[in-house]
Chains A and B, each alone.
Chain A
Amino acid sequence: MATKPDTVFRSLDRKAAAMIEFTLRQYRTRTSTWVVLGVGFTALALIFMIYIDVMGSEFESVDNDGDSFDYDGDGYPTGQELRLGTDPFSDESHPGMFDPPINPEPASNYINEDGFDWDVTASIGEQTTGYDDDGDCLNSDKTDSQKDTNDNGIPCDIIIQITTSPTGQMSFNVIADDGVDEDPDEDAYSREATHIAFVLAIGKLGFVLLLGIFLPLFMATGLIREEMTSGTMHFMIAKPIARSEIFLYRVLGYLGIVWPYIIVLGLLGALVSGFVGSGDEFFRFADLGVWLAIVFATMMATLVYGMMFNALGVLWKYGIILAIPFAAWELGMALLSMGVPDATILRFSVIGWALMIVDSAAMLVWPSLDMFILMGDWGGGGTGSDIFGSSSLRGSDPLNFFSSKPGLGLSAFASTIVATLVLLVQAVVFWFLGGVLFKGKEIQ
């Protein structure tokens, strides 16, 4: 054994290591630990099963512009008649009368035949985008003014106006010429939107909120309190170790079991959603960035709540009762952050900052998410009703709900840094408060 100088810090290290190791082993022997971890795993597994089920099901293709129907009964779908210039509402006029006659096309050719041709990297201001794939705008016998119903001088295009309010809130407006990008591929859009919405929902609600609050609620509240009530605290405080150190090392021990657990669950989540998720590639590598942020945000949340709930446990024998209002508050803040991510009141929560980390990563990984949601909102054509009661494409409303911009108005990277720093400061504040409370406690 090498002899190293016996410094003060080395002996602090040893105490920390001993206390952390002790706390870990203590957790291991408790049934409650395994119950809490098992319940967390089961809850997330259930959500993942729903996700897998949804992703495995077919998203029904809808003929948004109605041109696959044969209104006049002449055997030719409306789209074909329109393209070739015959009257779709008269069985006296159809491409079969051409010389040579043209055979009718299957109706399915006119479903999802005019997909999105959007430039999703649109910037603030007004731009023109879109392309008429099926020719019902460009090739038909429309007049120039009929081809340019949005009146910008360009036939068969879509105008996207993006404006920012003085508070930095972006708003969008879409004005399209008739017959441009009007029959998009629902399956492709909804699959992608549903996937992203699920990843964000599972990440924000399942991981950051559920794991982030319930793990500390059941595992950190008793870190000091249970030792005090059972009388075993006497062994700890009869040592040359300050009480705020005991407080800190107990929390570190708790993190020693909770953090690996979160990392494992996050890894499983990333694997499942990477393989099951939409897209042509075998595995969605890009999503790993979001999963990394979800795991990191959950770890930070369990750190801050761990310190807070441990302090509440020191404060009162029934600290868990004090912790529950906090949990309720955080739940409210989590829901608020989805709708109003820049609300000032979110700054007085833990979850608001933790979710900001997830939102920032989503902004980096899926930079054109806003345009993507806008596309779905606009492209439904009034046919794809969903549980949100809107007529947008399936998946766009949940995606709109679960995604939000980090509310600080900073870049994604800066938001992550700021949120992390704030969470660390919160953790230190709760450590300090807990330490002070614990120091002032008389232990009988």
Chain B
Amino acid sequence: MIPDFDQQGKAQTKEWTPDVQAPAILLENVSKSYGRIFALSNITLALNGGVTGILGMNGAGKSTLFNILMGKIKVSQGSVKLFGTNPWKNPAPYARVGFVPEHEKMYDWMTAHGFVSTFARLNGLTRDEAGIEADRVLDFVGLTDVAYKKIGQFSKGMRQRVKIAHALVNDPELIILDEPLQGCDPLARTTIMNVIRELGKMGRTVLVSSHILQEIERITEQIVILHQGRLLALGNLHSIRERLDQIPHSISIESENPKALAKDIIDIDEVFGISFPGGQNVSIQTHNLGAIHSRLPKIIVDNNHKVSSIDNPDDDLASILGYLTSGGRV
């Protein structure tokens, strides 16, 4: 409740010049605490160029990290710099940033074009420029057909794409997307992933958060793993993966004839155990997840099994986190 008097938000009363030497994002020993609970503790991170996935369970600190980057909350300790400037004190760097918030609430009464162009004008564009830019970015995310429809009528995936378009309208160097794939249908997912990959190829710095490993895997290899407010891992997903493959996994398959399926699967070398947890399910234990996934489809198709679902209950973030927190370091 006590106002922060030292914040000097002055927009662009003088022309803001970014520090060319500075990376897009620079966090140094950043901590954020609420009372005695640390939402983020001692994060040091510098990012410049390419697509980076921020992985973490719910409550790991992803949103806190983004809120700090977007100047919405103040750090308890440490320093945050966007292009060399502290965003809490000066919003000027946002001229080069596009942000896709996680919140679902949008202005339902606006058209997609109206929303994108209105908020483009908050970057200092004229009405005409904003209109042209809005057309451009709506085309980029594939929403040209519905540009003049009300956002209220849009599906979840379309709304996400409008938000992404709105974030790209100022041609930003740094794009931050908070859970952009959450709740989207497969088609929207593919479109959004393509858009993100495209941005990466264009040399932009892109930050994508997710709590689902497979999603991030399809977008980028460079990941940051947050766990309980700490930076757990930073680097290439493959190196993490390789180590992960050494630990046992289980795959659960639901099929019309689980016994017959089990008989065919047992021939795979990498499988070291099969169990029937009940119902139509068969559970496979393996050390090499990749090998199973590459051979499983062929076996199912060749033997004409009717499979309704394949689940990797622990082939997700939890298993990586379990592995990493149990002493393994990448």
Contact = CB atoms under 8 A, between A and B. Distances in A.
Interface string B69-109: 01111100000000000000001111101010101111101
B9 interface: yes
Interface in B181-214: none
Given A234-B72, A442-B72, A443-B72, A239 B13 contact: no
Contacts of B73: 442-444
Interface stretch (B124-132, B242-250, B296-304): B124-132
A252 B13 CA distance: 20
Contacts of A235: 101, 119, 166
A12 B5 CA distance: 23
Contact of B2 (A11, A236, A440): A440
Contacts of B29: none
A437 interface: yes
A14 B94 contact: no
B12 interface: yes
A387 interface: no
B14 interface: yes
Interface stretch (A15-23, A323-331, A362-370, A406-414): A15-23
A232 B163 CA distance: 11
A245 B105 contact: no
**Which has the most chain A C-beta neighbours within 10 Å: B9, B14, B109, B125?**
B9
Interface in B1-39: 1-5, 7, 9-16
Given A8-B15, A11-B12, A29-B109, A239 B122 contact: yes
Nearest to B5: A436
A210 interface: no
A231 B9 CA distance: 21
B230 interface: no
Interface string A414-444: 0000000000000000000000110110111
A439 B9 contact: yes
Nearest to B120: A18
* Chain A interface main SS type: helix
B121 interface: yes
A232 B9 contact: no
Interface in B224-249: none
A439 B71 contact: no
B67 interface: yes
B123 interface: yes
A444 B122 contact: no
Contact of A238 (B97, B109, B127): B97
A29 to B, nearest CB: 4
B71 to A, nearest CB: 7
B222 interface: no
A241 B72 contact: no
Given A440-B4, A442-B72, A442-B73, A238 B123 contact: no
Nearest to A19: B122
A26 B67 CA distance: 26
A216 B167 CA distance: 33
Interface in B265-319: none
Nearest to A6: B124
Nearest to A442: B73
B48 interface: no
A1 interface: yes
Nearest to B115: A235
B107 A232 contact: yes
B92 A240 contact: yes
Contacts of A195: none
Nearest to A438: B3
B118 A14 contact: no
B105 A231 contact: yes
Contacts of B123: 15, 239-240
Interface in A1-54: 1, 8, 11-12, 14-15, 17-19, 21-22, 25-26, 29
B110 to A, nearest CB: 8
A315 interface: yes
A25 to B, nearest CB: 8
B122 to A, nearest CB: 4
B106 A232 contact: yes
A243 interface: yes
A61 interface: no
A242 interface: yes
A237 interface: yes
A244 interface: yes
A436 B166 CA distance: 28
Contacts of A444: 67, 72-73
A232 B103 contact: yes
**Which residue among A232, A238, A239, A241 has the maximum number of chain B CB atoms within 10 Å of its CB?**
A238
Contact of B93 (A22, A240, A315): A240
Contact of B121 (A18, A25, A244): A18
A1 B94 CA distance: 28
A21 B122 CA distance: 11
Given A442-B67, A443-B73, 7 more contacts: A12-B124, A18-B121, A231-B103, A236-B122, A240-B92, A241-B122, A242-B91
| Top 8 A-B pairs, shortest CB-CB distance | A18-B121, A242-B9, A11-B124, A440-B3, A231-B103, A440-B4, A234-B101, A238-B99
Interface of B: 1-5, 7, 9-16, 67, 70-74, 91-95, 97, 99, 101, 103-107, 109-110, 118-119, 121-128, 130, 166-167
13 contacts: A15-B121, A18-B122, A22-B118, A25-B110, A26-B107, A231-B101, A231-B104, A239-B119, A239-B122, A240-B123, A243-B9, A442-B74, A443-B73
